[in-house]
Structure formats: C-alpha cells, structure tokens
C-alpha cells in the first residue's frame, strides 16, 4: 500500500504518518521505543523523565475499569542523566524521538529539556498535565501564568520544537493553549488523562494506592475531541490529539477537529503494536474514498462553514 499521502510535517518534524506513541506507554527503554517505531508509528514519545530518579507510587498503580484504564503510577523514571544512555542507542531511529519532560519549577523543566535536547531529542514535550503528582503536572499546568513561564523557560534553553501537553482538568483549556502560544510553544498536545478514582465496595477503600489517578481510554475521547476543536479555533498552532484513540475512525475524528497528528496510548494494551499500521491503513482507505490526496487536507474540516 502506498503511504505517501500520510506524510506529516509538524512543527519542523517530518513524519511518515500522523500516528505517534503517547507518553507513558512503552517509552522508557530504547528497545521498546525502537519496537514501536518498527511497528509503524510516525514518531515516538518517551515516558516522562525528570531531573532525578523516581520510583513512583506503590502498587496498585494501574487498574482496568469498565470505561478504560485508571492509573496513578507516579512518574517513575530513571532520571534524565540515566535516560540519556538509552537515547544514545536510538541515534539511528528512523522517526522523530520526542522526549517528555517534567519538573517542579519552570527552571527544572528547562534543565531537563536542555539535557534531552543536547542528547539528541528531536523535540521536547512538556508534561504540564499529570493529574496525580504533587508539585508538577496539573499543579503547574492548571495555571496559565505558570504554563507561560514554563514554556518560555524551556524555549530559552533549547533549539528544538517544544510541545505543551495540556490538562483537561480545567474550566477553559483554551486559556492554557493561549498561554503556551504566547510563550512560543511550537505545538499543543491535547489531552492528558482525566482526574478520577475508583473505590472497592467490599473493603470500602480507594483501589489505587494514591487514591486519585488519571482516566484514559475510550471514555475520554469525546472530551479530548472537544478540547482539540476549541484549541484549533483559539490558537494558530499545530495540535496533537490524544485520548481514547482505538481505530482509524477515532484518528480521523481528531483530525477533523483540528489535530495534525494523533497519539496512541492505552489502546496498545488491548490491540498491541499492530494498531499503528491498522490505523494508517484505515486512514489511507478513508482518504481514497473521500477523494483527498493528503492527510493534511482533512485537518480542521469540521470547522468549515
């Protein structure tokens, strides 16, 4: 099958197709990142990495619920200095390597991002939206002024594209998008998980060790599509759609809402790595059926009057 119609240009990155591995899924080792790329992803995003090693929360950290997955893993990672060793094994990766970073201040985000960029990251994704770790994620990302300060601090330190991954756990996500845009972000990733919890009715206790976590999967897709749609009308930046994408129809829906690319996360647990190729095949068939020559032609079509 000819995949040339899927070529995607995003904030200076060239991708063979618009699918990306979402952060937090299979993204901490060189071997798994390479396997995802070889399975057909157009780009890979690492698990979020901080300045220092972090063990994360105790189990249970991930559970399946009737409408998706609930997790409070706690941003476990080896720290950027150790992760740079993994990055060294990916210099010949044939798709962009996007490093997701977090910190507990704008300056710390910038420090981690700078180290990742020096080690060869194609782009930096700022995790401004983890819903369950104190001092970072939404505690920074829910505040437009802190979003602006963080994006600006990182842009001042790196010469790579910077993506701001935003939280849906706010009244107006466009306020966050506008803050990121004003500070020089090169793209927006929307969205991260929705803050949620589950309680065991037999033991009367929250199931996750951290009590609260982030909901992912099919249940959040309509929320994510709405966020992408609103951001597209608010700022002139490329958008990467994320949240509940399970097949090509979901991917196309995000693109019609305004996403130039899409990230696949929890669906991998259900479908395996073949999901990247099946989504690409489905999009190609859709483009041919509708008479489009390029995937870029459908981006934002739902906004046309």
| Residues labelled catalytic | 130
Prior bond of 58 cis (ω within 30°): no
CA gap 94, 109 in Å, rounded = 27
Q: What is the dihedral of CA 243, 47, 56, 272, to 10 degrees?
A: 60
- Under DSSP, the state recorded for 296 is G
Q: Which residues contact 54 (CB under 8 A, 6 or more apart)?
A: 74, 75, 76, 77, 79
CA gap 259, 18 in Å, rounded = 9
CA gap 236, 65 in Å, rounded = 36
Ramachandran quadrant class, 46 (left: phi over 0; alpha: psi -120 to 50; beta: rest): beta
CA gap 72, 130 in Å, rounded = 9
């Amino acid at each position: 099958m000819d995949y040339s119609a899927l070529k995607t240009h995003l904030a200076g990155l060239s991708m063979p197709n618009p699918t990306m591995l979402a952060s937090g899924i299979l993204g901490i080792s060189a071997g798994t990142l390479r396997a995802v790329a070889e399975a057909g992803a157009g780009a890979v995003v690492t698990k979020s990495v901080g300045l220092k090693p972090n063990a994360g929360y105790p189990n249970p950290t991930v559970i399946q619920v009737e409408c998706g997955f609930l997790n409070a893993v706690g941003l476990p990672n080896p720290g950027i200095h150790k992760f740079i060793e993994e990055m060294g094994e990916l210099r010949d990766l044939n798709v962009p390597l996007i490093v997701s970073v977090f910190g507990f201040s704008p300056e710390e985000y910038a420090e981690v991002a700078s180290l990742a960029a020096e080690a060869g990251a194609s782009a930096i994704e700022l995790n401004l939206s983890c819903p369950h770790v104190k001092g970072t994620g939404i505690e920074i990302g829910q505040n437009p002024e802190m979003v602006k300060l963080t994006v600006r601090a990182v842009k001042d330190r790196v010469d790579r594209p910077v993506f701001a991954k935003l939280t849906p756990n706010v009244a107006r996500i466009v306020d966050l998008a506008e803050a990121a845009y004003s500070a020089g972000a090169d793209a927006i990733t929307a969205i991260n998980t929705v803050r949620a919890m589950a309680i065991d009715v037999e033991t009367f206790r929250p199931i996750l060790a951290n009590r609260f976590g982030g909901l992912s999967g099919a249940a959040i897709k309509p929320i994510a599509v709405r966020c992408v749609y609103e951001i597209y009308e608010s700022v002139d930046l490329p958008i990467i759609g994320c949240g509940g994408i399970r097949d090509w129809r979901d991917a196309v829906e995000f693109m019609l809402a305004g996403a130039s690319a899409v990230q696949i996360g929890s669906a991998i647990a259900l479908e395996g790595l073949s999901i990247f190729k099946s989504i690409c095949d489905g999009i190609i068939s859709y483009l041919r059926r509708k008479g489009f020559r390029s995937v870029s032609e459908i981006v934002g079509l739902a906004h046309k009057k």
